[in-house]
Amino acid sequence: MDDNDISIFGTAEGKHRIWLNTTDASGISFAVIVWLIFCFLASVVVYFTINDIWDDILGSLNGLLLALAAWSHLKSMITDPGSIPL
């Protein structure tokens, strides 16, 4: 790993491994809203599963899908939108 290949946030081309535009106030505010919705949905899934409103399998499936959606959103937030993985 050389000096041009550091792992920090930034928007410069080819310089950073993690891409995150920190100057976009509306994008960051919408991302915060999305993560608050993810947290609310996770608490609803746990509440419904604990109180036997949903079956354990259904709660686990919803929790898995919620985790996959959160991971996809995080990955789309911190990777360069123009890059194609090899």
User: pTM score, two decimals?
Assistant: 0.66
- What is the full DSSP assignment across 21-68? -TT-HHHHHHHHHHHHHHHHHHHHHHHHHHTTSS-HHHHHHHHHHHHH
Q: pLDDT tens digit string along 3-39? A: 555 555 555 555 556 666 777 788 889 989 999 999 9
